[in-house]
Amino acid sequence: MFRTLVRAVLPLLLFAGTASADTLDTGDTAWMLTSTVLVLFMTLPGLALFYGGLVRTKNVLSVLMQCFAIACMVSLLWMIAGYTIAFGPDGSTFMGGFGKFMLNGVGLDSLSGTYPETVFVMFQMTFAIITPALIIGGFAERMRFSAMMVFSALWLLIVYAPVTYWVWGGGWLAERGFMDFAGGGVVHINAGVAALVAALYLGKRKGFPTTPMPPHNLTMTVTGACMLWVGWFGFNAGSALASGGAAGMAMLVTHIGAAGGSLAWMTMEWTRFGKPSVLGIVTGMVAGLGTITPASGFVGPTGALIIGLSAGFVCFWATQMVKRVFEIDDSLDVFPVHGVGGFLGLVMTAFLANRLGGLGFLNENIESSGSQLVEQLIGASAIAVWCAVVSWVLFKLIDLVIGLRVNEDDETEGLDLTQHDERGYNN
């Protein structure tokens, strides 16, 4: 993906006065280092706080623990095998070769484009960390910690890494001209679908939907949301893989997407429920950001505005549908916000990449929005289907071997005490 991207943004890079694609550029390197930091910050503590505040007091630590533990475990798995599956040389259509197992060949001077390969490994690692961490929202408050760790590890290697290869590692979707700049499919559809499968497989939390389960600390949630907004600049603008015009535009459109999504959701709540809520406005923000993610390197500011506003509107309705109409306990609304948002962003890319200041399509064989739309739908569906099937199988297997869901008494007492022997608040 980055090769085609470099081809697309080379004019901008030359305009910015950078060197060719074979030597180290300190500007690009500095930005990629920074982006890596920002994206890790999105998980630790951004997402951890966002999710932590949404669950009940008795489960706050379980969320923090799951995010932290996933970050640690994925880091090591990525180093060992994830990176090579996703970006290994001499790969097949569906996954990379094992040449970079244990980061073999990645040395001090190895380059990935104009910056060190070590930085690319790290940058991509932070994406690999946050994607399984997002899934937590689907099974929150009822999943055993051990089962969660096993699932996350296997899902990373069998779903996330291969899908990354399909889209960014030179795999079949990249070859078809599928456009996913920063992870609408790789991250958001993947996480959303897995969370939905988790919610369906595990079933509802005890008492859902009749028992009130309000967020125990919205101040924590809003704090986390603010960190996500800031960190997302690393996520999207960092996916330009260079410091320059492309990163600047990606940052700009990301920001507009966030603001648009926030206000659209707030407006929906205000008109339908009578009052604007802080939970609504930050959820709209996440929806806007998730939806702009796949489009962030391809659309212009006006396109981003349309995307942001649409995201707030569409994801709002999707949340109502999943939770209130279908009564699926996707506890933290991962599917309607990330899954639907990512899908929406991928579709809108087909129509906005070549209009309103967009940068155009990547693949010269694609001439119209219609034909790009076909590729977007193929990619989105392939990712969703692969994710859904494998996730289901993994849940089934893990359930048979060690058991997935905590027992009813433990669920009532809370995961903090029963899974971790701890209380979040000791006063």
Residue type, 92: S
Among 110, 118, 320, 363, binds other proteins (CB under 8 A): 320
Q: Which stretch binds other proteins (CB under 8 A): 76-84, 131-139, 234-242, 275-283?
A: 275-283
Does 73 sit near other proteins (CB under 8 A)?
no
Q: Please, are residues 301 and 267 in contact by the beta-carbon 8 Å criterion?
A: no
Burial of residue 378 (CB within 10 Å: 0-12, 13-18, 19+) is middle
Does 215 sit near other proteins (CB under 8 A)?
yes
Site string for other proteins, 193-212 (x = CB under 8 A): ----------------x--x
Whichever of 132 and 280 has its CB closer to other proteins, that residue is: 280
Does 52 sit near other proteins (CB under 8 A)?
no
The least distance separating other proteins from the CB of residue 345, rounded to whole angstroms, comes to 21
Query: What span, in angstroms and rounded, lies between the C-alpha atoms of 345 and 384?
Result: 15
Among 22, 90, 214, 271, binds other proteins (CB under 8 A): 214
Among 176, 204, 323, 423, binds other proteins (CB under 8 A): 323
Q: Which two tokens stand for residue 370?
A: 């219609």
Whichever of 209 and 403 has its CB closer to other proteins, that residue is: 209
Vertex 142: Cα angle to 383 and 419 (nearest 5): 120
Among 319, 372, 418, 419, binds other proteins (CB under 8 A): 319
Site string for other proteins, 253-272 (x = CB under 8 A): ----------------x---
Q: Which two tokens stand for residue 157?
A: 């290697």
Q: What is the DSSP string of 45-65?
A: IIIHHHHHHHS-GGGHHHHHH
* Pairing between β-strand 111-112 and β-strand 115-116 as defined by DSSP bridges: antiparallel
Site string for other proteins, 280-299 (x = CB under 8 A): x--x----------------
Whichever of 53 and 91 has its CB closer to other proteins, that residue is: 53
Whichever of 17 and 212 has its CB closer to other proteins, that residue is: 212
Does 17 sit near other proteins (CB under 8 A)?
no
Q: Which two tokens stand for residue 281?
A: 């406005």
The helix (H) or strand (E) run that includes residue 287 is helix 278-292
Cα distances (angstroms) measured from residue 230 to each of 128, 151, 292, 304: 19, 29, 14, 17
Spell out the alpha helix ranges (H) of 60-189. 60-77, 83-87, 117-139, 145-155, 161-168, 172-176
Does 324 sit near other proteins (CB under 8 A)?
yes
Q: Which two tokens stand for residue 191?
A: 């996480």
Site string for other proteins, 20-49 (x = CB under 8 A): ------------------------------
Does 279 sit near other proteins (CB under 8 A)?
yes
The least distance separating other proteins from the CB of residue 319, rounded to whole angstroms, comes to 6
For residue 111, the cross-strand partners are: 116
Vertex 158: Cα angle to 229 and 127 (nearest 5): 20
Among 15, 273, 326, 425, binds other proteins (CB under 8 A): 273
Residue type, 169: G
Which of 358, 346, 154, 343 is CA-nearest to residue 252? 358
User: Quick check: bond before 276 cis, omega within 30?
Assistant: no
Among 275, 400, 421, 427, binds other proteins (CB under 8 A): 275
Among 333, 375, 411, 416, binds other proteins (CB under 8 A): 333
* Phi, psi of 116, rounded to the nearest 5 degrees: -60, 145
Q: Which residues bind other proteins (CB under 8 A)?
A: 209, 212-215, 269, 273, 275, 277, 279-280, 283, 319-320, 323-324, 333
